[in-house]
Amino acid sequence: MSSLSSSPAFNRDIVALEGVTKRFPGIVANDSIDLSIRPGEVHVLLGENGAGKSTLIGMLSGLQQPDEGRILVDGKPSRITSPRHALALGIGTVFQHMMLVPTLTVAENLLLGGPWWQRPRTEELEARVAEITGSLGITVKLHAKVSELSLGEQQQVEILRAMVRNSRLLILDESTSMLTPKGIEELGALMRRLVEQGLAIVFITHKLKEAAAFGDRISVLKLGRKVGEIPPERFRALGEQEIISEIVELMFGRQKDDPEAVERPVRAVDAQVTPLLQVADLRVAPTDNAPGLSSISFDIRPGEILGIAGIDGNGQKQLAEALAGQRAATSGSVRLEGAAIEALSVGERRQRGLRYLTDDRLGEGTVGTFPVSINFFLKQVGAAPLWRSGVEQRGEIDKRAAELVREYDVRTPSLKTPVARLSGGNIQKVLLARELAEGAKVVIFNKPTYGLDLANTLASRQRIRDTAARGLAVLLISTDLEELLSMCDRIAVIANGELVGTVENAEDARTRVGRLMIGLAA
Amino acid sequence: MSIDTAPPAGATALDATSGAATRRDIMHRLLMTIGPILAALVIAGCILLAVGVDPLAYYGYVLEKGLFSPLGIQQTLTRMAPLLFLAAGLIVAFRAGMWNLGGDGQFLLGAVTAAASAPVLVQILPAWLALFCSFLIAMLVAMIWSLVPALLRAYQGVNEIITTLMMTFLGTSFANVLVKLVFRDPGTTVPQTRTLPVEDRLPRLFETTITSGLLLGLAAIIIVHLVMTRTAFGLKLRIVGANPRAAVHAGLGVPSLTIAVFAISAGLAGLAGAVDIIGVQGNVRADWNPAYGLAVIPAVFLARMNGFAAIGFVFLLSVLSIGGESAARRLGVPNHFTLVLVSIVLIVLALAEYVDHRYNQSRKA
């Protein structure tokens, strides 16, 4: 470990990313990202869920390989082939979920991964741990069972484990998500002491306050791209509030060179028309891994686009599923054209004209191994004319599918191609074709452009505008504020499963929605 | 991605290229199926050599007794009848992503109820109606037996592999108890059910000993294949099997479909038991358990749950088991060597699949 003295090596990157790109089927998770990680700095990676933080960590810790670009370790291009290799290079990772064996003691956990033919070197470990903990001012009970420790203590053990293995770069993935406020403060102080010893830390979070309080340098990720960086010099010059507002600007603001920014054509929605969709006091009970919904109320008129903005994971998916009938609501009413539909099944709601375009295209939107043609009609299996008395009419299906392929410009080698082999944009076109088919009245779009490239993003947005122009009611759920501002008539903000405010999409909508999203009054 | 640059597909342009591709695909499939089987025969031959048996003599006996001798081929075809019903039941379940491994319990309960009801019914009803009723009863009993795992899976998400396996142990014992305590033929000293007279059993085909149950079995598996591939109901089941979350999203009633799958699968297993009793055996002896249910599973896997391919593999299994029994007697190889052979085939096939997959991956990269 280098000392704090200003040796020339001190300000050189330990690890640098150059134009790193990682693709998954249908999604560009990281799009040519540059990053420099230096000793003595807490480098905060900030972004919403799905911004590409976890993928980036996966590549740094050897779990995944970049498709393009390169990773430099100490200035030399390196392939980090496995977690073991990452550790050998001095890159230690503390993952979001604890990776300790709860039934073993702390010491035993720290000794895991040593050579199997040797006796565990307990004395050596104790001396090493005493040295590290002494310098960091923490105490660790080596002989306590991990299951008896608090989550904060377990995290210290994980950090200690990385230190025992001589890590020079410590990656903390969403480390504060399970900690108490006091635990978070302690972690912040610990990070400070670690970087003072010359360590580099990458701290991943989606909480702005923590980023401003603990960081030296902030990189903001948005939909797989790095949209901005605040270097240490600037960071020190700004106050906490200024930093937060600058981050908000980076995360939600308009980019100067953003080619997607299209002015919203002004449409007049007649306020007198009866709403197509009326939701009143909708309530959903929380589950183990998802927030509930409470007192959700809104109306959408024909031809209107209502946007739902908010940080990802605040109940957007639950809202969409409750409306579509996939998730049971505990109370509240949902009316379509004035008729109550909250007691109907998924299929009956679709029959009435309520369509839900899911954000999970491969997970639930399609059956990946089935041909493109069948995936167009997954939601109308058995319906005439494609099925007659329950028997598949292959000719009819192929004919209709070929029409949809042409109409929606789906680029597929053949109708028989398994849909999972298509790119994300083309899978999305299949879903659009399916949900916008005849009979649609109200369409829920959940993150319709998530993970798509520019051309497909623009095409999807145009489809949504056309949908509204046809007189349908549109609910557009998105974490991309730009998208909402360019398309919606009104924008409601969801936080912790509640609609905290609704804003007319006028001049000042950007700042008002942005403030609502981070918990300030509009 | 290269797919993005492909032109929008027109229906006419597609078919010309896909024809050659399908042919290549079929050739590839054949190679990937027959190659591993030949390799497995060689490996099994080495095992035979190791225990001091001439593999060529063994395979020769198997083929002669199971395939080429007139009596042998008739026995082989007769054996196929229950196996085809079982395979049909497994195809429904496996394609819907549900692993009904309780076939043996369902089979035996079907067999016992058929054996108990048929001799009584033929005395009061016309023969064809009596046999039909026996089939029906056997099917219903097996369906009811599958209700426990079906309900547990549908509403509680309990893994059906474990519940069906446990129910199969209970089912075989219960069938045994029924034979010994309830349906026991008072006229014999060995514990067995009353015997259905030969003239009341399913007719034999032409002048042979082949049971007409073979035709029923063939009909069952072909109907199942067509239902699974050509109908809306079959497609719904396949959606549930391939992506249960997509099934929920598409508004399918997954719990009721689950129960239907179990009922159909178990019902076919019950019919398998009935066809074996009413067609061939005539009665059920206590402790009789041919364990066809487990033996058929590899055949269905080898056929990749395709009904027509399953007919071929069931035939192969029949040849192996009839021929293997005879070869075992003559060469002193244990009867269970057939199972060793089948499992080697399965393992080699899985390995071939893995290697093929890795090869495709590396070619793509």
3-state secondary structure A205-232: ECCHHHHHHHCCEEEEEECCEEEEEECH
| pLDDT, tens digit, 9 for 90 and up, residues B124-136 | 999 889 999 999 9
8 Å CB contact of A406 and B10: yes
In chain A, residues 333-362 whose CB comes closer than 8 Å to chain B: 345-350, 356, 358, 360
Go through B278-311 and write b for each residue having 16 or more CB atoms within 10 A of its CB, e for each that does not. Answer: bbbbbbbebebbbebbebbbbbbbbbebbbebbb
A325 inside 8 A of chain B by CB: yes
8 Å CB contact of A364 and B246: yes
Rounded (10°) CA dihedral B7, B10, B14, B16: -110
**Mean pLDDT across the stretch A299-305?**
92
pLDDT at A368 over 80: yes
Residue A164 token pair: 């025992």
Residue B259 token pair: 């129960």
A398 inside 8 A of chain B by CB: yes
- Residue A434 pLDDT grade (very low, low, confident, very high; cuts 50, 70, 90): very high
ipTM, interface predicted TM-score of the complex: 0.79
Residue ranges of the domains in chain B?
81-309
Across A247-251, A350-354, A507-511, the highest mean pLDDT is recorded for A350-354
8 Å CB contact of B251 and A379: yes
3-state secondary structure A349-402: HHHHCEEEECCCHHHHHCCCCCEHHHHHCHHHCCCCCCEECCEECHHHHHHHHH
pLDDT at A312 over 60: yes
- Choose among B279, B256, B276: nearest CA to B268: B276
**Which pLDDT does position A2 carry in this prediction?**
40
**Which pLDDT does position A263 carry in this prediction?**
54
- Residue A333 pLDDT grade (very low, low, confident, very high; cuts 50, 70, 90): very high
- Choose among B361, B339, B222, B235: nearest CA to B292: B339
Chain B positions in Cβ-Cβ contact with residue A411 (cut-off 8 Å): 3-9
**Which pLDDT does position A4 carry in this prediction?**
42
**Spacing of C-alpha B50 from chain mean position:** 32
Report which residue type is found at A461: R
Residue predicted with more confidence, A175 or A339: A339
**Which of A112-116, A272-276, A417-421, B289-293 comes out lowest in average pLDDT?**
A112-116
**Which pLDDT does position B15 carry in this prediction?**
46
| pLDDT, tens digit, 9 for 90 and up, residues A184-220 | 888 888 889 888 888 899 998 877 778 888 889 999 8
Would you call B155 exposed, middle or buried from its count of C-beta atoms within 10 A (0-12, 13-18, 19+)? exposed
Among the partner-chain residues A368, A391, A413, the one whose CB lies closest to the CB of B231 is A391
| pLDDT, tens digit, 9 for 90 and up, residues A397-414 | 999 999 999 999 888 888
**Which pLDDT does position A268 carry in this prediction?**
61
**Which pLDDT does position A241 carry in this prediction?**
76
**Which pLDDT does position A450 carry in this prediction?**
79
Separation of alpha carbons B139 and B272, rounded Å? 9
CB A367 within 8 A of CB B236: no
CB B6 within 8 A of CB A413: yes
8 Å CB contact of A325 and B251: yes
**Which pLDDT does position A507 carry in this prediction?**
80
8 Å CB contact of A350 and B251: yes
- Residue ranges of chain B whose pLDDT lies below 50: 1-16
Residues above pLDDT 70, as percent of chain B:
94
| pLDDT, tens digit, 9 for 90 and up, residues A59-97 | 998 888 888 898 988 888 888 888 888 888 889 888 877
**Mean pLDDT across the stretch A350-371?**
91
**Which pLDDT does position A350 carry in this prediction?**
93
Q: Which domains does chain A have, with CATH numbers?
A: 8-99+167-252 (3.40.50.300), 270-353+439-522 (3.40.50.300), 364-427 (no CATH)
pLDDT at A257 over 60: no
Report which residue type is found at A517: M
- Residue A267 pLDDT grade (very low, low, confident, very high; cuts 50, 70, 90): low
Length of chain A: 522
| pLDDT, tens digit, 9 for 90 and up, residues A19-57 | 999 887 667 788 889 988 999 899 998 876 667 888 888
pLDDT at A6 over 70: no
